[in-house]
């Protein structure tokens, strides 16, 4: 019961911007005012948005590293164990010879690295998304920028003032005005 009250007390406002500069100014103002729960919507990806939001580096690279290490270990284990289990003695050469095994190690490194990268990307992007979210508006995929500021009901006036000062064309509560 307490959880519903907390969820109901947290709402947000969505500001619509026509220009990227206005969006970046709004993000900077909110960061200086102490708001950290911001989400931007943009018709095209732009690195300035990520820099202004101060997003941390993507953790997908750790999935890639884990996949590559797992692939290399699997390749070595597979080739060495197969050679030892079915020894083929040819001209007195060693049964376990690393150089020919490196082809299989390389292929499994690339395969598992790529698969875990894809899995990590889907996991961190929370895909597939069933619910887009209360702040999304289809105009944000066409020609406008949006900024969702998650805040309590008592802070709506302050957030509205900050959005207006940054040049927001329209300010609506999250979840209203959706054109789906």
Long-range CB contacts (within 8 A, 24+) of 5-9: 9/152, 9/153
Show the tokens assigned to 94.
Answer: 């060693």
Question: Which ranges constitute the DSSP H helices of the chain?
Answer: 2-9, 20-33, 47-53, 60-85, 98-124, 156-166
Structure tokens at 70: 């797992």
Domain spanning 2-57+134-173 has what CATH number? 3.30.70.120
Contact 109, 66 (CB under 8 A): no
- The overall average pLDDT reported for the chain is 88
* Residue 3 binned pLDDT confidence (cut-offs 50, 70, 90): very low
Give the pair of three-digit tokens for residue 145.
């920028």
Q: Per-residue pLDDT averaged across 130-142, rounded? A: 80
Answering whether pTM is above 0.75, one says no
Q: Kindly report, residue by residue over 18-76, the tens digit of the pLDDT.
A: 999 999 999 999 999 999 889 999 999 999 998 999 888 899 999 999 999 999 999 99
Say if residue 115 is exposed, middle or buried (CB neighbours under 10 Å; 0-12, 13-18, 19+): middle
Q: How confident is the model at residue 84 (pLDDT cuts 50, 70, 90)?
A: very high
Tokens of 15: 């500001």
Where exactly are the structural domains of the chain? 2-57+134-173, 60-124
Angle at 143 between CA 15 and CA 33, to 5 degrees: 25
CA atoms within 13 A on the CB side of 154: 1
pLDDT band at 136 (very low <50, low <70, confident <90, very high): confident
| Pair type for strands 10-17 and 145-152 | antiparallel
> In sequence order, what are the beta bridge partners of 12?
150
């Amino acid at each position: 019961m307490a959880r519903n009250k907390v969820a109901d007390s947290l709402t947000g406002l969505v500001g619509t911007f026509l220009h990227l500069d206005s969006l970046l100014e709004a993000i900077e103002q909110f960061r200086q005012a102490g708001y950290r729960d911001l989400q931007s919507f943009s018709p095209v990806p732009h690195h300035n948005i990520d820099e202004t939001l101060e997003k941390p580096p993507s953790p997908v690279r750790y999935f890639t590293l884990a996949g590559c290490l797992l692939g290399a270990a699997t390749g070595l284990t597979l080739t060495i164990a197969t050679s030892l289990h079915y020894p083929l003695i040819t001209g007195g050469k060693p049964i376990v010879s690393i150089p020919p095994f490196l082809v299989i190690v390389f292929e499994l490194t690339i395969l598992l690295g790529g698969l875990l990268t894809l899995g990590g990307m889907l996991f961190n992007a929370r895909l597939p998304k069933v619910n887009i979210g209360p702040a999304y508006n289809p105009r944000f995929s066409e020609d406008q920028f949006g900024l969702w500021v998650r805040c309590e009901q008592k802070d709506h006036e302050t957030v509205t003032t900050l959005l207006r000062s940054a040049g927001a064309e329209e300010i609506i509560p999250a979840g209203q005005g959706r054109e789906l």
